[in-house]
């Protein structure tokens, strides 16, 4: 695996591959890689000749009082995992390489839809940071395909919209949620969960599955279903961010005649914010 810390170094090597007609797949990450990330690398490997992964903990998408400074950084272990997974290139820039003129004067990419609800409502400015850094990474790597996990469903929807709006010639692909043995969605932030909380955190997944079963059984009182699920999570000892039944494409609140529905949820443990989602077709 070739490792690059500069835009120029990565581009020079990728241009050689591009001139040979090789198809380039890209998996952007913030590091602290787990099996979910490695599944993205494997998927990219199956449909591309060259696989690029980036590791960059993007300060622009972290709000005040969020965990940028303590976000797990496990670079050497990540490199070992990527080599084993068959990654060809790792791009690992520092803040100056990504934002040479500083964060305050960085040009921004703003998606005006789907970014002020759900995670966007509780994390103002988060998706502006995501779309800005992802667009920069797309410009640097210039991949044929980029793969994102469905766990971050809203992020995936926003990036797809950004790529469509900006006419980016990139196939945006998704990968299923990778889960722990007990069903908890894998996340770099799972390491924040305390031993006492760990057996209880699957209440988020269980609550989403309960809502899905109710909807499939004919219950269209989405608001009541959301409130009942929230009560279950609070009873388990956690703080609710949101539980929302949405139209899968627009992320608007689901209508009674919607066919494609996604149920999204977020909750807080003592030190972690966990998200999950479940999509159904009626």
- Residues labelled as active-site residues: 37
The rounded distance, in Å, linking the Cα atoms of 161 and 141 is: 19
Residue 94 contacts residue 7 (beta carbons within 8 Å): no
Query: DSSP character for 270?
Result: S
Tokens 């890689």, residue? 33
Residue 211 contacts residue 225 (beta carbons within 8 Å): yes
Q: Where are the alpha helices (DSSP H) in 166-267?
A: 203-216, 222-235
Kindly give, in sequence order, each residue whose CB lies less than 8 Å from that of residue 4, ignoring residues fewer than 6 positions away.
10, 13, 89, 90, 91, 92
DSSP string, 57-104: --GGG--TTSSTTTS---HHHHHHHHHHHT--EEE---HHHH-TT-ST
User: Residue 161's closest CA among 131, 138, 141?
Assistant: 131
3-state secondary structure of 193: coil
The rounded distance, in Å, linking the Cα atoms of 241 and 64 is: 17
Which three-class secondary structure string do you get for 226-240?
HHHHHHHHHHCCCEE
Tokens 């509780």, residue? 122
């Amino acid at each position: 695996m070739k490792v690059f810390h500069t835009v120029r170094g990565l581009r020079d090597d990728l241009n050689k591959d591009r001139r040979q007609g090789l198809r380039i797949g890209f998996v952007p990450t913030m590091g602290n890689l787990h099996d979910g990330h490695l599944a993205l690398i494997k998927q990219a490997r199956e449909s591309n000749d060259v696989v690029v992964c980036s590791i960059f903990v993007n300060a622009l998408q972290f709000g005040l009082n969020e965990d940028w400074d303590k976000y797990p950084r496990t670079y050497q272990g990540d490199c070992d995992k990527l080599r084993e997974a068959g990654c060809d290139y790792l791009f690992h820039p520092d803040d100056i390489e990504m934002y040479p003129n500083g964060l305050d004067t960085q040009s921004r990419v703003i998606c005006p839809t789907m970014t002020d609800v759900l995670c966007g409502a509780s994390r103002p400015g988060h998706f502006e940071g995501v779309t800005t850094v992802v667009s920069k990474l797309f410009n640097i790597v210039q991949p044929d395909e980029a793969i994102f996990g469905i766990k971050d469903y809203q992020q995936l929807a926003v990036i797809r919209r950004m790529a469509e709006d900006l006419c980016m010639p990139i196939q945006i692909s998704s990968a299923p949620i990778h889960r722990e043995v007990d069903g908890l969605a894998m996340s770099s932030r799972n390491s924040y969960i305390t031993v006492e909380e760990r057996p209880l955190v699957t209440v988020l997944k269980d609550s989403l599955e309960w809502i899905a079963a109710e909807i499939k059984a004919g219950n269209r009182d989405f608001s009541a279903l959301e409130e009942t699920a929230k009560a279950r999570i609070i009873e388990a000892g956690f703080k609710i961010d949101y539980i929302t039944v949405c139209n899968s494409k627009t992320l608007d609140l689901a209508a009674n005649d919607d066919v494609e529905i996604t149920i999204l949820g977020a909750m807080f443990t003592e030190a972690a914010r966990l998200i999950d989602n479940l999509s159904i077709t009626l």
